[in-house]
Amino acid sequence: MTVEAHKESHGFQTEAKQLLHLMIHSLYSNKEIFLRELVSNASDAADKLRFEALSKPELLAEDPELRIRIEFDREEGTVTITDNGIGMSRDEVIENLGTIARSGTAAFMQQLTGDQKKDAHLIGQFGVGFYSAFIVADKVDVFTRRAGLDTDQGVHWECHGEAEYSVENVEWPQRGTRVVLHLKDEAKEFADGWRLRSIIKKYSDHIAIPVEMLKEQAPAAEGEEKEGEDKQAPEFEAVNAAQALWTRPRSDIKSEEYKEFYKLISHDFDDPLTWSHNRVEGKLDYTSLLYIPARAPFDLYQRDAARGLKLYVQRTFIMDDAEQFLPLYLRFVKGVLDSNDLPLNVSREILQKDRNTDAIKSALTKRVLDMLDKLAKKDADQYQKFWDLFGNVMKEGPAEDFANKDKVAKLLRFSTTHTDEPKQDQSLEDYVGRMQDGQKAIYYVCADNFATAKSSPYLEVFRKKGIEVLLLTDQVDEWFVGHMHEFDGKPFQDVAKGALDLGEAETDEDKAEREKVEKESGALVERVKEVLEGRVEDVRATTRLVDSPACLVVSEQDMGPQMRRILEQAGQALPEAKPIFELNPSHPLVQRLDQEADEDRFADLTNILMDQANLAAGNQLADPADYVRRLNTLLLELNA
């Protein structure tokens, strides 16, 4: 059949051209990874064909033995990677090869640092693996035909690096994809059998299908080949082990093999922090291989982004991002799950309702938490690295996973008043172990940053008494403690909420002093109430302050200011909540206020103290200009 040529030329978008330029000229210091990326893509194409063949077995009938073949030509300077996987239609070629990093080109560009070694780590995270071909090639040809389409539905995609690309229909006899790399002069080293074999063994040994190359033949003896005799057909042999790593016994697998397999499935260049390989037999029959990455993905905080494990059912690939087997707060975990207890016609809807899925999810969740607990006890530095990357996500755990709330709580890390640097490295067990005799609560303060939290006026009485306080500075913190409630029988208590309660840490002398302050400050409190009427819920004298004249606290039942700001920024309508204004009667400014007879001047001083308390709490002033005017008037009077 003659194919009517329909060739179209397309130009890359400006952003895509910039990205291609970076990748070709500066992004990679390790050029050989192009082969790892292209072999990985070919393996994915084979997995996708297996999945479609579950419902359409005829797709595999013409060529049932899946494989990847790599060939080279020294004279032409080419390397060719061919697979007999799912292949692509014309529309799929334009969609997949014509648009770089469809889900994150802008984010990719923003994260580039100019450091080749660091930037190379971003490759797999942004779906730009195919374009690594242009690191070594100045021209790339792709010939492909999707399984199930006629031979006249083949497609040829051609691109010369940063220039435009073309797409045309061609006659293509076999299912699958062939990628032909026309090597640059400085990359001709890759048109070599030994070089290619060593790269495959290094990066792709655990691909579950054969990666084949021509069998190397000994040179023929002189006169051995007879004139006119037909040459033997080329003979291919597998270069890789072609056995899924997770199916092998753990005792047979070296650490380096585990690390290389992680890089294969995650497209990450860094070694994982830790991993767990487990085989379960009994009521459920499955194998899992779970990894904790040493690098956070760019979309970690996009809760609706693709995530999950590679799922196989009875060695048959089902999906890349099976999100049903781990809770959302563990979305950073990478790995493989292979089960014999899930139906082959599995779909996302069926998985969500299957009781075996729930049982596997529960078991895998506990395994990940146990893996992290082991890492924390075995290597504190590595665990700190994990926490710095994924700590905010782990804090979502107590709200999402009630069954494992206590396990998650033991893995959490915080800054405290015992911390000199803004480093979250103290566990709740550490805190409880240092609690003072008679201390019944775990005290915490929320602030926008470490410096603000460390200098918060709410800490003054706790610092005076040597009581440790958690410094919570992440946006998720107030939401987290609202679901955590308590740890080891000790309730969490916000030092900026409600009346000061030191429990048994408050001595009889403290109680007597508090009662004395409240009694002697009654008249002052009433005067301040009149001035601040409508701005505050109440005014009261306090002994929680030592060095500050005043502070604002929130009622026990009200939402904290940090959570209010987050919800307001999200467009949530919130009920009005007024703070409680607390005065420190022992402070010279408050004593001066108490002696002021001029009511107008008293009102100005009161409003200045109120605005300063707002600023100390990290709040914005409703009328900054009014605060500046009052303060300037006071300064002029002092200089008069």
Tell whether the model's pLDDT for residue 430 goes beyond 80.
Answer: yes
Of the ranges 159-163, 310-314, 523-527, which one carries the lowest mean pLDDT score? 159-163
**How many other β-carbons are positioned within 10 Å of the β-carbon of residue 533?**
9
- Tens of pLDDT, residue by residue over 42-67, are 988 898 898 888 888 999 988 899 99
- Tens of pLDDT, residue by residue over 476-503, are 888 888 888 899 999 999 988 877 777 7
Tell whether the model's pLDDT for residue 443 goes beyond 50.
Answer: yes
pLDDT for the residue 413: 96
pLDDT for the residue 382: 95
Average pLDDT over residues 224-231: 53
Query: DSSP string spanning 205-230?
Result: TT-SS-EEEEPPPPPPPTT-SPTTPP
Cα separation, 338 vs 287, in Å, equals 5
Of the ranges 139-143, 280-284, 348-352, 585-589, which one carries the lowest mean pLDDT score? 348-352
Cα separation, 239 vs 211, in Å, equals 6
Of the ranges 197-211, 360-374, 411-425, 461-475, which one carries the lowest mean pLDDT score? 197-211
Report residue 329's pLDDT band, with 50, 70 and 90 as the boundaries. Answer: very high
Binding residue ranges: 37, 41, 83, 88, 96, 103-104, 125-130, 177, 348
Which alpha helices (DSSP H) does 470-623 contain, by range?
Answer: 477-484, 508-520, 522-531, 561-569, 588-595, 599-616
DSSP at 318: E
pLDDT for the residue 48: 86
- Tens of pLDDT, residue by residue over 530-569, are 999 988 999 999 888 899 999 999 887 777 666 766 676 6
Tell whether the model's pLDDT for residue 28 goes beyond 80.
Answer: no
Report residue 17's pLDDT band, with 50, 70 and 90 as the boundaries. Answer: low
Name the most confidently modeled range: 225-229, 267-271, 408-412: 408-412
Average pLDDT over residues 428-455: 91
Tell whether the model's pLDDT for residue 117 goes beyond 50.
Answer: no
Cα separation, 528 vs 592, in Å, equals 13
Q: Which residues pair with 82 in a beta bridge?
A: 69, 178
Percent of the chain with pLDDT over 90: 44
Q: Are 146 and 87 in contact (CB under 8 A)?
A: yes
Tell whether the model's pLDDT for residue 341 goes beyond 80.
Answer: no
Q: In what order do the strands lie in the sheet with 165-170?
A: 8-10, 165-170, 154-159, 137-145, 176-183, 78-83, 68-73, 211-214, 236-238
Cα 280 to Cα 232, 250, 277, 289, 357: the distances in Å are 48, 13, 10, 11, 14
Cα separation, 640 vs 625, in Å, equals 22
Tell whether the model's pLDDT for residue 125 goes beyond 80.
Answer: no
Entry field: residues in the chain? 640
Q: Which residues pair with 156 in a beta bridge?
A: 143, 168
Of the ranges 74-83, 332-341, 616-625, which one carries the lowest mean pLDDT score? 616-625
pLDDT for the residue 268: 81
- Tens of pLDDT, residue by residue over 376-399, are 999 999 999 999 999 999 999 999
Q: Are 170 and 155 in contact (CB under 8 A)?
A: yes
Q: Are 146 and 88 in contact (CB under 8 A)?
A: yes
Tell whether the model's pLDDT for residue 126 goes beyond 50.
Answer: no
Mean confidence (pLDDT) of the chain: 84
Token digits of residue 20: 């291609």
pLDDT for the residue 356: 85
Which alpha helices (DSSP H) does 307-354 contain, by range?
Answer: 348-353
- Tens of pLDDT, residue by residue over 167-192, are 999 999 999 999 999 999 999 999 99
Average pLDDT over residues 348-356: 64
Q: Domains of the chain by range and CATH?
A: 8-216+234-238 (3.30.565.10), 245-389 (3.30.230.80), 413-504 (3.40.50.11260), 521-554+575-639 (1.20.120.790)
Tell whether the model's pLDDT for residue 504 goes beyond 50.
Answer: yes
Tell whether the model's pLDDT for residue 342 goes beyond 60.
Answer: yes
pLDDT for the residue 55: 83
Binding residue ranges for ATP: 37, 41, 83, 88, 96, 103-104, 125-130, 177, 348
Q: Are 70 and 79 in contact (CB under 8 A)?
A: yes
- Element (DSSP H or E) covering residue 13: none
Of the ranges 68-72, 159-163, 249-253, which one carries the lowest mean pLDDT score? 159-163
Q: Are 245 and 82 in contact (CB under 8 A)?
A: no
